[in-house]
């Protein structure tokens, strides 16, 4: 894709799922990639995958909820490759289904700290470097839950609506400085987040009736399709009738960073099989 080759990208949450595929895609396009995650072991596996395929990657341990940690991540990019041209701020968590009145203070603060504050800490560290260089492009990972409400996932949905607003506002601030800032809103995608949610490993406290409804959806989808075990209720409202591959998110990120998207800023692109239509 135009404009990625030879430049440097940082990807957070790159140890697995969407972030791993985004990092691999940047490397395939010829970019140097800083593979950043809190999970050190899996993060190194992403670096190995990229290097085995002939790409350039380096590793950075980061906790996106901690500004100092994020500053060190950006330093890794500049110290190793001499620039920071693209950022995919993608790390995020989902703590499982919980009714509005059942979410604990700790759950609320954790999800906001990683999913929303974590996007701000990244942009806060990345933007001054891009400004000094004279340009750059940032893509933040929001979610379908950042565009519409989702019962049982209100803290997650609030954090992702926040990402959409933060993306718009930051884009306006930096539009005249040749730095484009966009977001993607993935629909249900085959990653650890989906499998953890639907296998019930998250803390669940939504009302019994709602859970029965979900179980019916699960069974309905299980009958309709024989796929991976996470390939179930989350796809019930997807017009394309399938769950996404993480590579499909990586393609959208690469496009938004490329010069093909040179007049696009402040937007959140749904990559959702038509779910938000």
Is 7 among the residues that bind ligand NAI (CB under 6 A)?
no
- Write phi, then psi, for 175 (nearest 5 degrees): -60, -40
Is 39 among the residues that bind ligand NAI (CB under 6 A)?
yes
Residue 94: closest CA among 74, 115, 116:
115
Residue nearer to ligand NAI on the CB measure, 90 or 167? 90
Residue from 17, 96, 152, 162 touching ligand NAI (CB under 6 A): that is: 17
Question: Using CA atoms, how far apart are residues 261 and 161, in angstroms rounded to an integer?
Answer: 23
Residue from 27, 47, 91, 125 touching ligand NAI (CB under 6 A): that is: 91
Residue from 9, 47, 93, 253 touching ligand NAI (CB under 6 A): that is: 93
Residue nearer to ligand NAI on the CB measure, 109 or 131? 109
Residue from 188, 202, 270, 273 touching ligand NAI (CB under 6 A): that is: 188
Question: Which residues belong to the active site?
Answer: 156
Is 143 among the residues that bind ligand NAI (CB under 6 A)?
yes
Residue nearer to ligand NAI on the CB measure, 93 or 171? 93
Q: What angle do CA 156, 162, 168 make, to 5 degrees?
A: 145
Point out which span in 62-70, 100-108, 164-172, 207-215 binds ligand NAI (CB under 6 A). Answer: 62-70
Angle between helices 67-81 and 118-133 (to 10 degrees): 30
- Write phi, then psi, for 61 (nearest 5 degrees): -80, 130
Is 15 among the residues that bind ligand NAI (CB under 6 A)?
yes
Is 90 among the residues that bind ligand NAI (CB under 6 A)?
yes
Residue nearer to ligand NAI on the CB measure, 133 or 236? 236
In the block, residue with structure tokens 């399938």 = 242
Question: Which tokens sit at 219?
Answer: 């069974």
Is 12 among the residues that bind ligand NAI (CB under 6 A)?
yes
Question: Which tokens sit at 222?
Answer: 């299980």
Number of residues that bind ligand NAI (CB under 6 A): 29
Is 232 among the residues that bind ligand NAI (CB under 6 A)?
no
Is 29 among the residues that bind ligand NAI (CB under 6 A)?
no
Please report the sign of the dihedral spanned by the C-alpha atoms of residue 170, residue 137, residue 76, residue 22. Answer: positive
Point out which span in 101-109, 125-133, 138-146, 204-212 binds ligand NAI (CB under 6 A). Answer: 138-146
CB of 222 to ligand NAI, least distance (A): 18
Is 96 among the residues that bind ligand NAI (CB under 6 A)?
no
Is 136 among the residues that bind ligand NAI (CB under 6 A)?
no
Is 63 among the residues that bind ligand NAI (CB under 6 A)?
yes
Question: Which tokens sit at 251?
Answer: 């393609």
Residues in contact with ligand NAI by the rule CB under 6 A: 12-13, 15-19, 37-39, 62-65, 90-93, 114, 141, 143-144, 186, 188-189, 191-194
């Amino acid at each position: 894709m135009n404009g990625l080759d030879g430049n440097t990208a940082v990807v957070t949450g790159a140890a697995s799922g969407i972030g791993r595929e985004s990092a691999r895609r940047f490397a395939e396009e010829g970019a140097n990639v800083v593979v950043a995650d809190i999970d050190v072991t899996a993060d190194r596996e992403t670096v190995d995958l990229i290097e085995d395929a002939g790409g350039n990657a380096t590793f950075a341990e980061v906790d996106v909820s901690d500004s100092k940690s994020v500053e060190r991540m950006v330093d890794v990019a500049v110290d190793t490759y001499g620039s920071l041209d693209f950022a995919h701020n993608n790390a995020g968590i989902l703590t499982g289904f919980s009714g509005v009145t059942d979410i604990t203070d700790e759950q609320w603060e954790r999800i906001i700290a990683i999913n929303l504050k974590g996007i701000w800490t990244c942009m806060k560290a990345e933007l001054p470097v891009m400004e000094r260089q004279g340009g750059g492009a940032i893509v933040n990972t929001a979610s379908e839950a950042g565009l519409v409400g989702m019962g049982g996932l209100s803290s997650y949905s609030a954090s992702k609506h926040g990402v959409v607003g933060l993306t718009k506002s930051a884009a306006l601030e930096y539009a005249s400085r040749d730095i484009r800032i966009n977001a993607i809103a993935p629909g249900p995608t085959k990653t650890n987040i989906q499998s953890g949610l639907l296998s019930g490993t998250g803390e669940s406290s939504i009302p019994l009736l709602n859970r029965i409804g979900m179980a019916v959806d699960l069974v309905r989808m299980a009958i309709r399709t024989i796929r991976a075990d996470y390939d179930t209720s989350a796809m019930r409202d997807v017009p394309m009738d399938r769950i996404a591959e993480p590579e499909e998110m990586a393609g959208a990120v690469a496009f938004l960073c490329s010069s093909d998207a040179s007049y696009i800023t402040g937007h959140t692109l749904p990559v959702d099989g038509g779910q938000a239509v």
